[in-house]
Copies of this chain bind each other. A is one copy, B any other.
Amino acid sequence: MSITTFHPPSRTLMGPGPSDVSPRVLEALARPTIGHLDPRFIDLMDELKHLIQYAFKTGNALTMPVSAPGSAGMECCFVNLVEPGDKVIVCQNGVFGGRMKENVVRAGGTVIAVDDEWGTAVDANKLEAALKANPDAGIVAFVQAETSTGVLSDARALTALARQFGCLTIVDTVTALGGVPVRVDEWGIDAVYSGSQKCLSCVPGLSPVSFSAAAQEKITSRKQPVQSWFLDLNLVMGYWGQGVKRAYHHTAPVNALYSLHEALLILREEGIENAWQRHQYHHQALRVGFAAMGLDFLVSENEQLPQLNAVVIPAGADDAAVRSRLLQEYQLEIGAGLGVLAGKVWRIGLMGHGCNQKNVLYCLGAMDAVLGYMGAEINQGAGVKAAMDYYAASG
């Protein structure tokens, strides 16, 4: 097999993640590797913990990046907090709530399902009914920003309800963090995980996590050991814990952590509140553009994530052919539908570094052109114009 050095094409990444990565982050990634117990690396770890605390708006001591993607961050939360026999209420309104259920079952827990339609937010009334019907449930888990649909659920309200009934919460903020408000301490979230490759615009492969004192208490007082050695926080704390002499657990992904440090530094330089506003601002431009083209959003406006926009595939458009042509002719990646939404929606990401005017206009223009060529039922030319009017009026 003839193999040579890989030179990736220069894509514009507007799918559900990974998102476009800043050159600053790629530069950080490529700096020389040093040891995972080097005193200078220990300093970096302290700074990184501080930056993750900043992003989550938490003072939690147990805050760190899991050395693996968001799915492992999810598993880290569940295997550490769920013991065999535990009852866990899982709210599902998309793919990732389903993955949470899998995690509960594999950790030996029992799932109490609170299901909502894909494309709508988690219904607090249903959660309340489940909490009332299951006084022995100890944990509530839900996804704040469903990557499969682009729906934002009310994490503040759901967490408050869970607390009212004495439950700990596990909250998925993989797509949320950096794009919409996540206030771990103010809302009282107990366990939270995210991913590096969405609105943080870092390379994929890391999962920031944070645990409240109550969660940490449950983890340290477990009756049975955590089923995963790699993700056992009782062991990982010897390396990432607060005030410990950092001892080897596993070899940290040193270079990836350089890049996360830089990505979070960029976020802090902008100010996370400004980042939230920027996501809203450019989302509105994309929204008016798609509306002018005659494309519908899957999700109602009050539940829409600015950073992830599911639009209904219009009549006359071939899902795969459109995406392929956008990729080949425009180097533009948009996302396909997942699960029951496959073939029904496209998912357009406006995340982190990639959430800007240039990308909004480029995406509208490229989709307008490709859908036009292919005879889909849209108002050709109207999308870019509407978005430019929006920018002109609001700039």
A residues apposed to B, CB below 8 Å: 1, 3-11, 13, 15, 17-18, 20-21, 24, 26-36, 38-41, 44, 47, 50-51, 67-72, 74-75, 79, 99, 102-103, 105-107, 195, 197, 203-205, 225-230, 248-256, 258, 261-262, 265, 268, 327, 333, 338
Q: Can you pick out 25 interface pairs between chain A and chain B where the beta carbons lie within 8 Å of each other? A: A3-B261, A4-B265, A5-B262, A6-B28, A8-B32, A11-B34, A18-B36, A20-B33, A21-B32, A26-B30, A29-B29, A36-B204, A39-B327, A67-B205, A71-B250, A72-B230, A75-B230, A99-B229, A105-B225, A107-B227, A203-B253, A205-B253, A227-B228, A248-B338, A256-B256
The 8 closest A-B pairs by CB, nearest first: A205-B253, A30-B30, A68-B68, A71-B250, A203-B255, A26-B30, A204-B251, A72-B230
In the complex, the answer to whether A205 meets B32 with C-beta atoms within 8 Å is no
Q: A13 to B74: give the CA distance in the assembly, Å.
A: 33
Q: A32 to B12: give the CA distance in the assembly, Å.
A: 10
In the complex, the answer to whether B204 meets A6 with C-beta atoms within 8 Å is no
Q: Which residues of B lie under 8 Å from residue A251 when comparing CB positions?
A: 17-18, 69-71, 195, 197, 204-205
In the complex, the answer to whether A47 meets B205 with C-beta atoms within 8 Å is no
Cross-interface CB contact of A265 among B5, B18, B36, cutoff 8 Å: B5
In the complex, the answer to whether B18 meets A35 with C-beta atoms within 8 Å is yes
Cross-interface CB contact of A26 among B9, B20, B32, B44, cutoff 8 Å: B32
Instruction: Give min CB distance, A66 to chain B, whole Å.
Output: 9
Q: Which residues of B lie under 8 Å from residue A36 when comparing CB positions?
A: 18, 204
Q: Which residues of B lie under 8 Å from residue A3 when comparing CB positions?
A: 47, 50-51, 261, 265, 268
Q: Which residues of B lie under 8 Å from residue A106 when comparing CB positions?
A: 225-229
Q: Which residues of B lie under 8 Å from residue A204 when comparing CB positions?
A: 33, 36, 251-255
Q: A7 to B40: give the CA distance in the assembly, Å.
A: 9
In the complex, the answer to whether B33 meets A13 with C-beta atoms within 8 Å is yes
Q: A261 to B4: give the CA distance in the assembly, Å.
A: 9
In the complex, the answer to whether B32 meets A228 with C-beta atoms within 8 Å is no
In the complex, the answer to whether B203 meets A33 with C-beta atoms within 8 Å is yes
Instruction: Give min CB distance, A96 to chain B, whole Å.
Output: 11
Instruction: Give min CB distance, A148 to chain B, whole Å.
Output: 10
Instruction: Give min CB distance, A141 to chain B, whole Å.
Output: 14
In the complex, the answer to whether B11 meets A32 with C-beta atoms within 8 Å is yes
Cross-interface CB contact of A1 among B50, B68, B248, B253, cutoff 8 Å: B50
Instruction: Give min CB distance, A358 to chain B, whole Å.
Output: 16
In the complex, the answer to whether B34 meets A8 with C-beta atoms within 8 Å is yes
Q: A44 to B333: give the CA distance in the assembly, Å.
A: 17
Assuming the contacts A228-B75, A230-B75, asked whether A15 and B35 have C-beta atoms less than 8 A apart, the reply is yes
In the complex, the answer to whether A29 meets B255 with C-beta atoms within 8 Å is yes
